[in-house]
Chains A and B, each alone.
Chain A
């Protein structure tokens, strides 16, 4: 391969076929490139738009600008070393990526996760869901011109990152979930800190709603904009808040409970018409439900082990290394080679903040996965962008992209 490939960018542009647009002979179209470096595309998404005046007639998302080959890298790592890399796919919902992968490997290994670990996972997952929705709210607010919402969103998300730092030492990409459980037990004071957050956050949500729920500009920008019906979305494979905004209550936490979600009492917020306003309201309501789940998980947090006792999979406790030869051998084997996983293929779907996040893992019996594939909801949901924004103003395209909430790290992987 040549070091400087001779690329004719004009030629490459031509190879992207824009769809046939029905129009009268006098119409003039403008092809406008937006991105990949555009603040309103929420990452490095490139949109090739065809405009008639200010109206979007066609849009083609072009992706791959942050493709880092994570799935390929996974095939070169031991199973437990894959966790930190898959967390970097969808960089706002790292706990979900880790759970999808760990869940798939646990299914292959047929290992049971202790109840305490499951509850700890739920606490972190739901806090992460709130943090992810807060970024959506902050950046979405920015796209609508609500600058203060932007700062408030980041401020509250920072409190959640403080909690993550407390339990795992990291604010993002925490590597807290491990195959068979979680990395370590929560520190003393964590529960009180989470409760401080959960008791204060509903007031924050009220403030957000006071700020934008009845704001005339926000209502005009969101209501009855970019509504797509349920059947079209289902055909396009859309899941998550976008689908629930149309009134379809499909949520894997309720539909196919994993990680002991069936122990908790929570509701699935749904919309009615599936426009941008419904998408906004569904996510706002989801944050309140997540808070309820976190509180219930703290109330019912069981005692016991936080990771499986199976020493072929989980590292032995630190203090055993000094006294037990066997623990030392297990530690050495796990750190050098990792654990071997029985051959087979599994698909493990969970409900991420953006929809169905499924992890497909194929094992060939060795200590490294033979294939890791993430069915990332942002990647699939992005296909619904064109039906949403066709024949809208270009300003609504920005607002709709914000309400679609794509994360380019997850799309490109």
Chain B
């Protein structure tokens, strides 16, 4: 993990390139996080690639309900040579949940971004094939959102199946 100074150094470099890019930094339990503007995600990841973080380990979606902006997307970057990790986080509102897709530069993000879209409804603009990954295609809603109820699924048995009228 980059230490607090190393993290500030990376944040400073990103701010030099784009003053609006980095919204904050966080060092927590040995985990360095860069909070960036959604529009700066692709640029940040490319910059980190130049710094050696050339492996995108994971993409997570998070719902910060009731905080705003509610939805978060997290990118776990890994430098395999020095075994160093840094995570990049961006937050978007549910009204306009658009984050640029990193799939063109990072093929591994393809399925992972589809999962975040499926579960949280974050729309990754520029994704080549943004479909639901796990849920059925005709499913309504995004089940991992915090306000999505547990147990709301009707289970179909023969006794609660709508009865067909005889001809």
On A, residues with C-beta under 8 Å from B are 1, 3-5, 7, 12, 15-17, 63-64, 67, 69, 71-73, 75-76, 107-108, 110, 234-238, 248, 250, 255-256, 344-347, 349, 356, 358, 360, 362, 370-371, 373, 375, 379-380, 382-383, 412-413
Contact = CB atoms under 8 A, between A and B. Distances in A.
Given A63-B133, A67-B135, A345-B33, A234 B111 contact: no
B134 interface: yes
Nearest to B114: A63
Nearest to B160: A3
B141 to A, nearest CB: 9
B107 A235 contact: yes
B29 A360 contact: no
B150 interface: yes
A75 B136 CA distance: 22
Interface in B52-66: 54-58, 60-63
- By secondary structure, the A interface counts as mixed
Contacts of B25: none
A362 B136 CA distance: 27
B167 interface: no
18 contacts: A3-B154, A3-B162, A7-B136, A12-B138, A64-B134, A72-B148, A75-B146, A248-B80, A345-B31, A347-B76, A349-B57, A349-B85, A358-B76, A360-B74, A371-B60, A375-B57, A382-B111, A383-B108
Given A3-B156, A383-B107, A362 B140 contact: no
B55 A234 contact: yes
Contact of A72 (B62, B80, B108, B144): B144
Nearest to A73: B150
Contact of B143 (A69, A238, A375, A380): A69
A110 B28 CA distance: 11
Contacts, number: 118
Contacts of A373: 58, 60-62
A237 B28 contact: no
B163 to A, nearest CB: 11
Contacts of A380: 58, 108, 111-112
Nearest to A17: B129
Nearest to B28: A344
B131 interface: yes
A76 B83 CA distance: 34
- By secondary structure, the B interface counts as loop
A276 to B, nearest CB: 21
Contacts of A76: 150
Give the top 9 A-B pairs by smallest Cβ distance, nearest first.
A237-B108, A375-B58, A64-B134, A67-B134, A255-B83, A373-B60, A360-B60, A256-B83, A235-B107
Nearest to A413: B134
Contacts of B111: 379-380, 382-383
A75 B57 CA distance: 23
B8 interface: no
A76 B62 CA distance: 15
Contact of A362 (B57, B62, B80, B135): B62
B95 interface: no
A371 B134 CA distance: 18
Contacts of B76: 347, 358, 360, 375
Contacts of B133: 63-64
B140 A1 contact: yes
Given A7-B138, A236-B108, A237-B57, A346 B161 contact: no
Contacts of A16: 131
A15 B134 CA distance: 15
Nearest to A5: B138
B87 interface: yes
Contact of B62 (A7, A237, A346, A371): A371
A338 B4 CA distance: 33
A223 to B, nearest CB: 27
B154 A1 contact: yes
Interface string B147-167: 010100010100011100000
A358 to B, nearest CB: 5
Given A72-B144, A235-B106, A371-B62, A63 B134 contact: yes
